[in-house]
Amino acid sequence: MSMEWFNRVTTELHDHLNSICDQYDQVGHMSIDQSAKHPRIEFFVETEDDERDYFCTLHFDPHNAEFYVETFDFEFEQQTRIILTDIEDIIDAIHDIFHDFISDDELDDLDEEFVLDAVNSGEYYVGEIADTEFEELSVEWETPEVTAFQIEDAIEITHQFGVVNATGDGVLRRVKRFWSEGNELHKEESSFVFTKEEASTLIALVASNMDKMTSYENL
């Protein structure tokens, strides 16, 4: 297994950070982790609280000497890899993911009144919305409720994917059902709306950070 290609690309990325994007030169940083089985390069911005907000993880498979980013295939419901064969593909991928990240961050700063106006007028909206607002949207559900997690007679969590008819945006609906000690059923529901351009970034962010999460059984 060779790290030659990894080291070459790492050096190139250091030299090309300024050319990825003017905004990147202002706020972007990268860190290298060679201790993992598949070494990785993580890209992040620093927040006002001096914390790191990661937006892209570039993995390296030393056995096949290839770089890749992880994503999730909703059609087959499994993680997939996007192979990046040369430095140009890598730079373009980081550039695109960074722009999606910046766009998401700017949308998060919108005040509530502007967001509601955008929903009502059919413009883009990203984020979790309350049930009362969601009911105003017409959604075509593309999948049934898919069980993501379940403990019999205790808790069940399902997800469902749909498309907003007015905008073509994607919708992820999460339903949590749980039973109290008196065997009373409770239900919590939320929905997340996002644009097609954001989908790959959201999937990659989740897929590349799953190893840092704690499963329900281990809580």
Show pLDDT as tens, one digit a residue, over the chain (219 residues): 468 888 888 888 877 766 666 666 666 788 888 877 889 998 888 877 778 888 888 999 888 888 998 876 666 666 778 899 888 889 888 888 887 777 665 544 444 444 344 444 444 334 444 443 445 568 899 999 999 888 887 888 999 999 988 888 899 989 998 887 777 888 888 888 888 888 888 888 888 888 888 876 655
- Whether the pTM exceeds 0.85: the reply is no
Distance CA 17, CA 19 (A): 5
Distance CA 170, CA 152 (A): 30
198-to-41, 102, 152, 186 alpha-carbon distances in Å = 21, 11, 35, 32
> Do residues 65 and 23 both lie within one domain?
yes
Q: Is 94 inside any structural domain?
A: yes
Domain count of the fold of the chain:
2
Residue type, 215: S
Helical (H) or strand (E) element with 106: helix 87-108
- Return the SS3 of 133: helix
Cα 88 from chain centroid?
23
For 212, residues 6+ apart whose C-beta sits below 8 A from its C-beta are none
Q: Look up the domain containing 71 and give its range.
A: 4-108+200-218
> Do residues 63 and 157 both lie within one domain?
no
> Do residues 86 and 27 both lie within one domain?
yes
- Return the SS3 of 5: helix
Q: Is 17 inside any structural domain?
A: yes
**Residues 122/145, Cβ–Cβ less than 8 Å:** no
Distance CA 164, CA 141 (A): 9
> Do residues 78 and 180 both lie within one domain?
no
Distance CA 171, CA 177 (A): 19
